[in-house]
Amino acid sequence: MKINPLLIAFTLAIAPYTFTQKIKAKNISVNINPIDKSIGLEEEGLKKLHLKDNHGAIKDYTEALKLNPKNVDALFGRAYSKWELKDYEGAHSDFNKILKTEPDKIHLYTLHNLSLLNFKTKNFKEGIEVTTKLISQNFQLLNSYTNRGLYKEKLGDAKGACADYRKGSENGNDIATLRVKESCETNVFKEFEKNTKNNMLMNRAREKYALGDSKGSCEDYQVAKSNGYIPPKKHRLFYKIFTNPYCFFRTL
């Protein structure tokens, strides 16, 4: 078995429950031709979705979209069903198709779900973009600032994350209030900033290694190490014996 020199199971900075729940599939004010034959199939898909027959719902929604690729209700329902089946990439694709199908409309529910889904699919930059759109529309401010703070933290932007956590706290989010206290006060911020950067570097190192970029992976590890990164206690011996010499030669 091939040994990963960066053998660490990276976890989310904060448990996903911080994010608000996805909004259930429902009709979202769409003007579709009344003789559109896709509507019947879309309605059948919605019935199956409510019965938790997500496979059947996806089949009906897909057939509806063959008849009318612009039926955004069918796209929304199919995205939701895919999410229920943990097909996060498929759900992400369908939600984005809604935005491309009607670029002149502001689809708040779609953006809301994308702001949550991007965390699961590790599209952190897009997560910031869509959550920023929600904030600009004053939508779900109780959670949107906090969620955007999480994305910024994952990208190593400690100052930006704390700015959003403070906004989230002002809007009554308890998680944001806790984050401010634990990470953003003057006496703890420097440590938070260092750890945030190192977590981003180590996450990126792991992704590079998975793509076969051993040198790039080790370069990120060495930068994190020079910034004070200390491996988890249970992995320190492994790092000492394998990772450090491995990455020393990879970065020569």
Burial class (CB in 10 A: 0-12, 13-18, 19+), 161: buried
Q: What are 86-100's pLDDT values in tens digits?
A: 999 999 999 999 999
With 80 as the cut, is the pLDDT of residue 81 above it? yes
Q: What are phi and psi of 123, to 5 degrees?
A: -90, 70
Burial of 216-233, coded b for 16+ CB within 10 Å and e otherwise, reads: bbbbbbbbbbeeebebee
Taking the domains of the chain in order of start, what are their residue ranges? 19-187, 190-250
- Residue 11: predicted pLDDT: 23
- Residue 24: predicted pLDDT: 63
Q: What are phi and psi of 155, to 5 degrees?
A: -95, 10
> Percentage of the chain with pLDDT > 90?
78
Q: 82 falls in which pLDDT band (50, 70, 90)?
A: very high
- Residue 10: predicted pLDDT: 22
Would you say how long the chain is, in residues?
252
- Residue 21: predicted pLDDT: 64
Q: 221 falls in which pLDDT band (50, 70, 90)?
A: very high
Right CATH number for 19-187 from 3.40.640.10, 1.10.287.1080, 2.60.120.380, 1.25.40.10? 1.25.40.10
Written as one string, the DSSP assignment of 87-129 is -HHHHHHHHHHHHHHSTTS--HHHHHHHHHHHHHTT-HHHHHH
Q: What are 129-167's pLDDT values in tens digits?
A: 999 999 999 999 999 999 999 999 999 999 999 999 999
The model's pTM: 0.80
